[in-house]
Chain A
């Protein structure tokens, strides 16, 4: 479970959000909606530990997460808008790199888990391809598999449907629902309202539900 209490962030004289309180239950999908430029991505970057917040607390499965931008570890899996795949590594290598080098799992465990993720994300045919050879939807599924490989307590997506065609968007919707059934807690930042409706999660409107 994700618990955010009294989280505040400001840039100089601009308050991005103030005293933000939010809870996401295990296996729940929460979509953070609202127009572009309202601070959704800043919120996601704070959640991911990439940008410091000014005050407040974030707790994931009972474990407090640093909010000062110094966090290390892979508690929150992030699917970036641009995916940020590592171009010099193949699809399979992108997925197994962190479990091998960071989590230091055994080669056998890494291979098994990678195979499972490649199957789940329908990427077997692309396993030896490089990111530049993939479509937007395929890149996104690699990004999801790469994040899941570190078994994060929460999967956070930044605008997952931007730049995707209708078929790929439907695919993302299916993937999120599938992951929900497996108990993965998900938080999706999006300004794509039809997509937010389609994933059938709880909505949190950054335009109206946030104090500034």
Chain B
């Protein structure tokens, strides 16, 4: 009995898919499920959450400090996303359009070189720059400007994040820009459109999907980050990941930590759905 070609191909495909799928199920989906189940459980021995399956989530909603941390995370992340796009787009555009082809890759490489310092150390370096007697204030005072109290604050966290994500977005927006077919722009120019109009009606709409994906990536990475707020925040305006680590480390409250993480995931999923819908609308 001979098998049809499709059956052979399907069996082959399944064999090829097996390792990746098994890994994702075993080490991603399953742990996530375990965490979700644990988040429904009771907290540390002294049951700080109300009883019942939704206990930890109810505690989240009823605790101003948890809700505030969530709001902080959202505010910081949205600010960082907008700022990073605003800073990265012109840079990507200049590198893609204005810089001669020979130096383009070098310019891009230079723009993202600090990527290669350790993430932890880079945040620490910002704390040195923004300290009360740090480099920034020394520079400001040298030119006669008043010193800024940026250290240990939400501003410092936003600056640290924006620094990282500007570099990331420069990469993604640049690759979006260079993939544009040049004929479209030439055609628009031939039809009499000035450079601003070409940008508004051709370049921007066509790079929008790339920007949207980059922005979503920024949102997802930024809202879940623990290192930068911990190093630059000085214990002010706590973000949600910091509260998760607090529950994990000090309170040994694994169920609450799990519940908070799931709430974080929900925010990212919502952002994903919004981005997907936006991309469909734009296309």
State whether these chains interact.
Answer: no
